[in-house]
Structure 1
């Protein structure tokens, strides 16, 4: 009985023990915080990055995880807008840990820091936004639907944005790309019937990351802070625990949902 109790306690402390998780765009920002949090719950992590310039940051995240749990993380470069590279990302995860992937969290995204109106958005910038944010999410969803572990424990979480609810000017392409993701995930959850895999979106509000600050004036930042009931920007630590919960067994009954985490911003 003591052994059973100890095992139950260990499972509660490490609900993702030995489960393999891929977190795209996890060399920095929200993705980094999610990767570190999932590792703290016992998961084995694939830390994904896209640009060569992010290699050192991704390696640092993997090293931080491995410092407390050796052999629990690898960094893998892959562009989520490229189907071959998304496939290779899953291949690398399976090869590194000898197990099917249990969890996919898609945090990779781009935001046009010029903050143009729709009338002033170039076709190239629109295409770039949709290529990463919508096409990338689709490719990650498709690969996950075909390759995540069946029979329970399979979890898909797509990062969206509370802008889909707020509908602020100057974010037209970005918000539209995230609205597409939310719609796709709600349909995917139904299509995965019988697999034990859940699919949800987490939609943060303004979070103090490099992507949020780039291109914004102090006046723009202060306006966002004033609009939040807590009178502050969100932090990555406000988002990661929610994602962590959604990928555990305890969240099985949460499926096909969009959870907005924004401090009451919208």
Structure 2
């Protein structure tokens, strides 16, 4: 198994794409650092399922720099190093420019941009050559018909995609590979929050398959980027959206 005994730190790992990724990479032999903010029950259940020799759950706000330092320290204390980061934690407030407050802006950029940026900074001293960094963007950044209410969220993910490109070149000398995954509409709790059924059905129609993606389908792409099979995929944003955004 290509990820056997690799140490993978996943933020936002107690639900949604993060949880699906933790379960997928665990099956490949990885050891998993499960970061969560509030859902301790889900995180602890995963540790029990994976086994305490293969997993650890760490409560931390993935948008807070002090918490990120504590998260990295806990991972290294448990497993000795970090081979892969999957920065999955995020929020998706539906805000157009007229309805965005300064608090909305700060909260969204803190978790979606500042958090991944400084998580990498804190983890780098513990990442050996061959390590992987995988950011999460969104297909909305590649969709010309994105509704105005996605503005704030799309702005944070645009920053993530630029971070991916520039950081990939900057860390290549250390032998560290950086990429991003941009899911299309995916049936997670984050996606459904605040959306009426009529909007969900309309979004399904964006794909020629007339459905939402599943978290496990995104996790499969993340598994590829975390493995040695992706050694020549560098600085890319991989769109995973069922043909909804081309």
**Range of TM-score over shorter length:** over 0.9
The 5-angstrom pairing of residues 170-181 of structure 1 reads: 170-181=149-160
- For residues 140 and 159 of structure 1, the distance between their equivalents in structure 2, rounded to whole angstroms, comes to 13
The counterpart of 1:65, out of the listed 25, 50, 67, is: 50
User: Structure 1 length as normaliser, TM-score?
Assistant: 0.88
Q: Give the structure 1 partner of residue 198 of structure 2.
A: 219
The 5-angstrom pairing of residues 87-126 of structure 1 reads: 87-97=69-79, 99-112=80-93, 115-126=94-105
Contact 1:48 1:77 in 2 (8 A): yes
Question: Which SS does the other structure have where 1:79 is aligned?
Answer: coil
Q: Give the structure 2 partner of residue 249 of structure 1.
A: 228
Shift of 1:145: 3.4
- For residues 45 and 94 of structure 1, the distance between their equivalents in structure 2, rounded to whole angstroms, comes to 12
Q: Give the structure 1 partner of residue 21 of structure 2.
A: 34
The counterpart of 1:44, out of the listed 24, 27, 31, is: 31
The counterpart of 2:180, out of the listed 191, 195, 201, is: 201
Shift of 1:148: 1.2
- For residues 95 and 171 of structure 2, the distance between their equivalents in structure 1, rounded to whole angstroms, comes to 37
Answer with 20-29 or 185-194: which moved more: 185-194
Q: Relative to 1, partners in 2 of residues 1:116 and 1:83: Cα closer, same or farther, differing over 3 Å?
A: closer
2:127 is the alignment partner of 1:142: no
Question: Which SS does the other structure have where 2:182 is aligned?
Answer: strand
- For residues 19 and 88 of structure 1, the distance between their equivalents in structure 2, rounded to whole angstroms, comes to 20
Shift of 1:29: 0.4
- For residues 141 and 178 of structure 1, the distance between their equivalents in structure 2, rounded to whole angstroms, comes to 16
Q: Size of the alignment, in residue pairs?
A: 243
2:226 is the alignment partner of 1:239: no
Partner deviation per Cα, 1:227-258 (whole Å, 9 max, x = no partner): 11111000011100110011111111111000
Q: Give the structure 1 partner of residue 209 of structure 2.
A: 230
Shift of 1:157: 0.2
Partner deviation per Cα, 1:128-176 (whole Å, 9 max, x = no partner): 11110011121122223343112x2x00001111111115120111100
- For residues 210 and 183 of structure 1, the distance between their equivalents in structure 2, rounded to whole angstroms, comes to 27
Contact 2:76 2:126 in 1 (8 A): no
Contact 1:207 1:236 in 2 (8 A): yes
Q: Give the structure 2 partner of residue 76 of structure 1.
A: 58
The alignment's C-alpha RMSD in Å is: 1.2
- For residues 242 and 122 of structure 2, the distance between their equivalents in structure 1, rounded to whole angstroms, comes to 33
- For residues 110 and 157 of structure 2, the distance between their equivalents in structure 1, rounded to whole angstroms, comes to 12
- For residues 46 and 136 of structure 1, the distance between their equivalents in structure 2, rounded to whole angstroms, comes to 16
Question: Which SS does the other structure have where 2:115 is aligned?
Answer: helix
Contact 1:80 1:139 in 2 (8 A): no
